[in-house]
Structure 1
Amino acid sequence: MTMLTVAEARAKARNRLRSSMSTWATRHEPIGTSPDEGSEVSAPTAAVVEIALHPPTEKQVLQDQPAAMEWAGSWRKIASPDAGGSKPENLSHPVIDWTERSWARVGRQQIPLRLRLGTPEAVANFVGGDDARQWRRLRDRTVTIRSRFDGQPTAASAITAHTKRILGLGQAEFDTLLDVVEWLRDHPVGTLRPRQLPIRGVDSKWFETHRSLVTALLEATRRPDAIDVLDAQPRIRMRILDPSLAPSGLADITAPVSQLSELTIAPRLVFVFENLESVLAMPAWTSAVAVHGSGYAVDNVARLAWVHGARIIYWGDLDSHGFAILSRLRTHLPGVKSTLMDEGTLIDHKDLWVQEPKPHAGKFPELTGTEARALARLRTEGDVRLEQERIPWGTVLDRLTTSVEELGASTKKPTTSAGEQG
């Protein structure tokens, strides 16, 4: 095996620092220090990082003795071979474990065996550069957060989850962030719009950018109730397909979920489509409403009070995300029936398949056997997808009619041309 160079060891340590810095920064007691005064412990502790240096064999030394000597010298510059001696190890610096080899043709040689970095600071000192600066910034800001909020160890989860954001803040931004969290903790303000926050320099745009971190730190201070800043309410696009249900003749509506939920309508059938164009193309249909599910925002459909008294038909893309969305909707509305999301539909339109760029690899327990088989088939075929807008509209209307009949919903078949209403 090739001798590990200093540059190669630094690369390994750099990767470890990047992947572990949030964990190291949020440990309750600094690694390698005593818990009382923060002074260095005198006895060696378990290394944070150990890297084998792969010293040469006698045969390798004989093949290129100058290279072997240069390699050993490069490690001698990193740290002196004093491991195991009487002097305590300096845990903020790299430590090299040396071993003595007695070779017949080369003689006795002190050989560097492994690199030990006993603390995150030792890792940073060895790595250097921007990565070391990033570590020290995160370390210092973690200490600041804990000191500002009474040493809350629960801040660890917030820091770990938002490490990148914390590191990306300028010093002034970071100071403002802590001021906001502290103010909100000490001055509960209840439910406000972001624009109403009475904190100088903090407007709706600032809060939109930093809300998740502010919320996480408030939870860490055990005051998640300190503020409930309202987002703009999600809006839903819907079409009332039966003119007799339309309030004042208004059939095509986009409004906040809470307002749509208060409509005094009682449709017997609700179509939920992932694709907006499909909603807009729907013909008149007795006692029916078509709602745009908006992908993963489909949860909002379940917030419409009048939906719960209707039969519901869902149609999404025949791909992994379409089934994920369907499964998600069923957690709120268990009686949802899918249409055009079966293996037969997939195979019948094979010429219209495209590749799914980022397939969902999860499992969806709310799927029926038919749906699960379709999902398995599209995965077997290489993560393909059949976008709903590619299916001929005549085929769609025929299948929707069949699905309604299978539900036993007492509604009439469409009688007008596609998109005539609204």
Structure 2
Amino acid sequence: MISPDEIRIRARKLWFSGAPLRAWLGAAALFPCSVQFRKSSAQEWLERFAELRSEVERLEAGSKARQGAGYAVAFKEVAHQKLGRLRVPESIVFESAEDIAACAGESAALARFAEVAQTLRSREPRLADWLAEQPLRALEVQGALPRLLAVVGYFRAHPRPMRYARELGIPGVDSKFIEENRALLGAWLDRLLPAEAVDATVRGLADHGFERRFGLRCDEPLIRFRWLDRSFMLDGRIADATVPLSEFAAYAPGCERVFVTENRINFLTLPECTGSLAIFGGGYAIDRLGSLPWLRGKPLYYWGDIDTHGFAILSRLRRHWAHTHSLLMDRDTLLGHQALWSEEPQDRRCLHDLDVLDDEERALYDDLRSDRLGERVRLEQERIGYAQVLEAVASIRRQELSGGKRRSSG
């Protein structure tokens, strides 16, 4: 036997699955929705007759037939060998979303959902599929619905506005509201905007994903660079500058070669080199270099730690720019500084294959990730003697002048 309280628990679980609301929309078949329960045996009726009869009465008293909404109980009469004819529950069903809502104590929520559905159907009918997929989320945002529709209406009228959210001037909507609802707005705009108004290459919300996908301006990542040739200094006075990524992309400096290093001190102390530019590639800056089209065709050198993580970063840069050379990341440099080795942190290690490394780099990387040279061997780039750095940079110039094609410089 099952009690009215247990049925209410089942109803609430069903309600919070969203299935009754989908069925109410006509997007899924659910009704009649059967409530499974264990039927009492003839022996149980014999042993617990008074108790079971009382349970049946409570079950019927809480049913739709008595309450006007809720679960419907179908009874049948059975012949008991000793007790005679018994009236027992045969089946219990919910016949509609209204019945589940009533049993779950969510009738008011269903009424609110009907209002949301009516609003979306009339204002943005192409959101019908989203409503069926996310009915409970639709209920959550009912109070914000007018502002949400105002935002998507603005983007439909002004695709890719290239303004900051604060500049949009949508009545009743501030930039904080847009920021807090980026995931929902993104799901709606993907359904409502034409393909040319959406940058499909941008996914997720990280790194201002919403803004970049739908054409809002955002607080751009910054790139720090330093001229190693004083004749190229900005306005003849500025050698070291930090600028937004888009400005750096448009800058397109007329340099002959580019050095990238992830260590700040090494970036600041790279020696003078004719026609050369240094880029500080710490953190996520490596991946941002992929958006600098003027790097194509320019000799590009990456200098990182000699450990598995350093080779992983080199691999990431080379996936953007296949012509990237490594600098001071060779076996001779590593073995020549054995007294200065340290241990690479376990959580930074890279152990998977890096297929864009050249043969010498891959052999060294394999030795490092397999601990053939020692446990978690690491040579941090700042431990390399400065005289060797000077010679490495100078040798690059000599190799280029002589037409050398070596990918690794050490």
* Structure-1-length-normalised TM-score: 0.59
**Equivalent residue, structure 1, for 2:4:** 6
**Equivalent residue, structure 1, for 2:221:** 235
Q: CA deviation at 1:134?
A: 4.1
Matches of 2:80 and 2:33, distance apart in 1: 30
1:142 is the counterpart of 2:117 = yes
State the one-letter code of the partner of 1:156.
D
User: 1:123 pairs with 100, 103, 108, which one?
Assistant: 100
Matches of 1:395 and 1:16, distance apart in 2: 61
**In 2 relative to 1, CA 46–409 (structure 1 residues): closer, same or farther, beyond 3 Å?**
closer
Matches of 1:237 and 1:22, distance apart in 2: 52
Match runs of 1:14-53 below 5 Å: 14-20=12-18, 24=22, 27=25, 29=26, 47=31, 49-53=33-37
**Equivalent residue, structure 2, for 1:209:** 180
**Equivalent residue, structure 2, for 1:110:** 87
Which runs of 5 or more residues in structure 2 are unaligned? 199-213, 330-340, 371-375, 397-404
What percentage of aligned pairs have identical amino acids? 19
**In 2 relative to 1, CA 99–315 (structure 1 residues): closer, same or farther, beyond 3 Å?**
farther
Matches of 2:343 and 2:53, distance apart in 1: 66
User: 1:75 pairs with 59, 72, 77, which one?
Assistant: 59
1:157 is the counterpart of 2:144 = no
**In 2 relative to 1, CA 48–20 (structure 1 residues): closer, same or farther, beyond 3 Å?**
farther
Contact persistence 2:113–2:139 (CA under 8 A): yes
Contact persistence 1:331–1:366 (CA under 8 A): no
Matches of 2:245 and 2:21, distance apart in 1: 40
Match runs of 1:354-369 below 5 Å: none
Matches of 1:301 and 1:22, distance apart in 2: 50
**In 2 relative to 1, CA 25–61 (structure 1 residues): closer, same or farther, beyond 3 Å?**
closer
Contact persistence 1:22–1:163 (CA under 8 A): no
Match runs of 1:21-420 below 5 Å: 24=22, 27=25, 29=26, 47=31, 49-79=33-63, 93-129=70-106, 132-149=107-124, 151-152=125-126, 154-157=127-130, 160=133, 164=137, 166-169=138-141, 171=143, 173-182=144-153, 185=156, 190-214=161-185, 216-222=187-193, 229-240=215-226, 242=228, 247=234, 250=238, 253-261=241-249, 262-264=251-253, 266=255, 268=257, 271=260, 278-279=263-264, 282=267, 283-284=269-270, 289-292=278-281, 294-295=283-284, 299-308=287-296, 309-311=298-300, 332=320, 352-353=345-346, 393=380, 408-409=406-407
Which runs of 5 or more residues in structure 1 are unaligned? 32-44, 83-89, 341-347, 357-362, 378-385, 414-422
Q: CA deviation at 1:205?
A: 3.2
Matches of 2:353 and 2:41, distance apart in 1: 55
Matches of 1:168 and 1:97, distance apart in 2: 36
Contact persistence 2:301–2:324 (CA under 8 A): yes
Matches of 1:354 and 1:315, distance apart in 2: 17
Contact persistence 1:241–1:284 (CA under 8 A): no
How many residue pairs match? The answer is 349
Where relative contact order (Cα < 8 A, 6+ residues apart) is larger, the structure is 1
